[in-house]
Chain A
Amino acid sequence: MPILPTRMIRFVSAVLLLAAVASFPLPGEAAKIVALKSADVDVYNEVLEGFKSISRRPIISEYDMEGDFQKGQKFLARLKSGPKPDLILAIGIWALQVVVEEIRDIPVVFAMVLNPTTVIGQEAHNITGASMNVPIEQQIALLKGVSPQVKRIGVIYDPSKTGFLVRQAERIARDQGVRLVTKAIASSKDSFAALDAMQGEIDALWILPDLTVLAPESVQYMLLFSFRNKIPVLGLSENQARMGALLGLSFESGRDIGSQAGELANEILAGRSAEEIPFTTARKVRLTVNLKTASKLGLQIPKEIIDQADVVIR
């Protein structure tokens, strides 16, 4: 029996055991910030890291609701029955939905939520946060930058889901000198007819973060429409760019969204009301350019756009 490895194992395991035991939270420690996570997903864990790197107060409790609303509700019920934390960090849309229902009197900062206004009602005055939406200005400017021919940008949307976003986009597009051609749909099946009706009326197509529009068959039809009519498509992700969209624009990282949320938390804990702080959009973005698609569309992508890209598919 080799002696050295056994001793090493004994020593290392003793150190690790002590470290693990020492890391348990001590009873009676005062609550500061409590984090509620929608599910155990890498990007949400990155959010936590980003938040911790910025927040001036510690997160004293992290809870994973594992995608289960009842678990989230039970956790919040326990939370309400004890000493109140100074702030709740809600990570992901499910955590935000539960918090919106259950919490009225504790400041809440959400992170990594798409279209948060669809979840948070007008009556919630205790909530702000960092969404994962990409700024509309940036998206329209990118489409414009692809080609000077882009003057009319087509958008299909479900008014109940992204009506607010389209209203903002129409104003921003006007400011940037382009026109938004919009078609409202009520179900994903309507997207085919809506797209067909846009033939010849648009110079580019913009895919919105709208669950009705994002049905796989709708996205595929949009990409087909793009190739048939030789117009560029701006998608929501690298994945959509790999599927054939000319461009994909998404938030850069969960860590950065988390750090944005951390900054908002610092403001609230410094005394500012959550109601006064507007939701933020992703300040860092990740751009994917598909040059194979550009070639098929007969487009020459400007060098400055390629230089900005995080991923170039050749």
Chain B
Amino acid sequence: MTLRLRAVAAILLILWGGWFTGLADGGDLKDTIKNLYGPQGIRVEPSPFFPVETRFQASSLQGLDQLNNQLTSAIGVPSFNSSVAGFTFDIERGIPERTTESLGPLLTERATTLGARKLDVTFTYTRVNFTKLQGKDLNDLELVFRRNDVNEGCDPSSRLLLARCDIIKANLKVDLTEDIFALIATYGLTSEWDVGFVVPVTHIRLIAKAHAGIFDQFGNPGGTKIGDLPIHRFGPNSTQPDASGGGDETGLGDIILRTKYNFLRNYDGLIPDLAFLVEMKLPTGDEQRLLGTGGTNLTGLLVASKTYGRWFTPHINLGYEIDTKDTQQNTIRYALGFDARLLSELTFGADVIGRHKPDGSGTGDHIVDLSLGVKWNPIQSLILRANVQIPLDKNSGLRADFIPTVGIEYIF
């Protein structure tokens, strides 16, 4: 019991630590890309042909907002799951039996719970290096800026009027990585009912660099010219063509509270074990610092699993996540996979994990990942875990090539 209390105290201390980290003063990382050239757009050098101050507004500003939103919504922590007990009780023989089932899935859920008065504490580290946005390389994004009077039309009879259709293209390189350290605790209130939380501490790095160039409507560099003189050009009095911004932030992410109730277990025939899981993600991460989403999310998940031959457990998770801040971000969550005990102390797990936003904006509305991982139980209550998430479709949303996670888990 003392050991368990120490574990609880340690968890709370770490939770406090995460909270203090979250108080560190930080900038407005969220608007890094949007603000690369300033909110007023790109101002070109005053021209002798066109003495009025000319500005180019990013038609991609909406896209920049979208990128910011995608960054925000991509932030999160890996799913977490309950673990298996070290022993089960053989009622007929009157002896505890060491658990010979698999050690459970890595990122998804199975219906069985941790067990009464058991405490599972897990630390995980996840590295996310985003490389694609809607299938486009984050190192080669292009933003297009148009003159603020472009709607008045481009008249080819006059060079000055034709120049309204000049554009500025900015090539954008985005370096976006997340390091997530998560403390995950699950406690078995009864043999069928678990409660738990996830406290993520996130380090996020967002560096954006852009280089802008002026083109005419046909794509010729330099834009529309009168003679050899370009109508639009960069100079000492204009916005500079090279811009950069961003930085690093570290702090508390969005804390998740969760509970799982296993309402059907060991039933006859093909009927699987069934559980219902409820998760609440709190807006504890600073949205402006890209540490959280800024909203409270509620998730209900039905979990079905069944163990065959005491070593192979397929499972299905199906649920709905409500984003109380923006209902268009409401998500159908699903997972289909299995965990299998390959050796007595080694479990392999594979899952297809999906998220679908029925009312989404079209960007990242359906994300599907393959998760592969192993759990190793080297000594009695200690489990080491490693897994990798691989996007099955990189053309949807903000994606990494792969997302590795390692962790250490102890059951008290």
**Option from A13, A25, A214 in Cβ contact (under 8 Å) with B93:** A214
- Which residue on chain A has the smallest CB distance to residue B115? A42
Mark contacts of B78-117 with chain A using CB atoms, 8 A cut-off: 1 yes-contact digit, 0 otherwise.
0000000111110111111010000000000000000111
Enumerate chain B residues within 8 angstroms of A6, measured Cβ to Cβ.
Answer: 19, 22, 284
Enumerate chain A residues within 8 angstroms of B8, measured Cβ to Cβ.
Answer: 16, 20
Measured CA separation A238–B192 after assembly (Å): 18
Are A20 and B12 CB-contacts (below 8 A) given A211-B93, A236-B91?
yes
Measured CA separation A39–B282 after assembly (Å): 37
Stretch with Cβ within 8 A of B (4 or more), from A82-90, A108-116, A151-159, A168-176: A108-116
**Option from A5, A43, A93, A242 in Cβ contact (under 8 Å) with B283:** A5
Enumerate chain B residues within 8 angstroms of A24, measured Cβ to Cβ.
Answer: 2, 5-6
Are A114 and B268 interface neighbours, CB within 8 A? Answer: no
- Which residue on chain B has the smallest CB distance to residue A48? B117
Kindly count the residue-residue contacts between A and B in the assembled complex, taking CB atoms under 8 Å apart.
Answer: 105
Find residues 190-205 in chain A having any chain B CB closer than 8 Å to their own CB: none
Query: B286: CB under 8 A from chain A?
Result: yes
Enumerate chain B residues within 8 angstroms of A313, measured Cβ to Cβ.
Answer: 268
Enumerate chain A residues within 8 angstroms of B385, measured Cβ to Cβ.
Answer: none
Query: B16: CB under 8 A from chain A?
Result: yes
Enumerate chain B residues within 8 angstroms of A17, measured Cβ to Cβ.
Answer: 9, 12-13, 16
Measured CA separation A13–B282 after assembly (Å): 15
Are A112 and B116 interface neighbours, CB within 8 A? Answer: no
Are A13 and B15 interface neighbours, CB within 8 A? Answer: yes
Are A2 and B283 interface neighbours, CB within 8 A? Answer: yes
Mark contacts of A37-67 with chain B using CB atoms, 8 A cut-off: 1 yes-contact digit, 0 otherwise.
0111111111000000000000000100011
**Option from B19, B96, B98, B381 in Cβ contact (under 8 Å) with A10:** B19
Looking at chain B's contact residues, the main secondary structure is: loop
Looking at chain A's contact residues, the main secondary structure is: mixed
Are A132 and B94 interface neighbours, CB within 8 A? Answer: yes
**Option from B6, B93, B116, B255 in Cβ contact (under 8 Å) with A9:** B255
Q: Which of A21, A112, A240 has the most CB of B within 10 A?
A: A21
Are B87 and A39 interface neighbours, CB within 8 A? Answer: yes
**Option from A92, A236, A242 in Cβ contact (under 8 Å) with B92:** A236
Enumerate chain B residues within 8 angstroms of A45, measured Cβ to Cβ.
Answer: 116-117
Enumerate chain B residues within 8 angstroms of A225, measured Cβ to Cβ.
Answer: none
Query: A281: CB under 8 A from chain B?
Result: no
Find residues 98-116 in chain A having any chain B CB closer than 8 Å to their own CB: 112-115
Measured CA separation A25–B13 after assembly (Å): 19
Query: B52: CB under 8 A from chain A?
Result: no
Measured CA separation A45–B96 after assembly (Å): 12
Are B284 and A39 interface neighbours, CB within 8 A? Answer: no
Enumerate chain B residues within 8 angstroms of A214, measured Cβ to Cβ.
Answer: 92-93
A residues touching B (Cβ–Cβ < 8 Å)? Answer: 1-2, 5-6, 9-10, 13, 16-17, 20-21, 23-25, 38-46, 62, 66-68, 92-94, 112-115, 132, 209, 211, 214, 235-237, 239-240, 242, 250, 313
Instruction: Give 10 pairs: A residue, B residue, CB < 8 Å, sorted on A.
Output: A1-B287, A1-B288, A6-B19, A6-B22, A24-B2, A43-B89, A92-B95, A114-B95, A132-B94, A242-B268
B residues touching A (Cβ–Cβ < 8 Å)? Answer: 1-2, 5-6, 8-9, 12-13, 15-16, 19, 22, 85-89, 91-96, 98, 115-118, 191, 255, 268, 282-284, 286-288, 294, 380-381
5 A-B pairs with the lowest CB-CB distances in the bound complex, closest first:
A114-B94, A39-B96, A17-B12, A39-B87, A20-B9
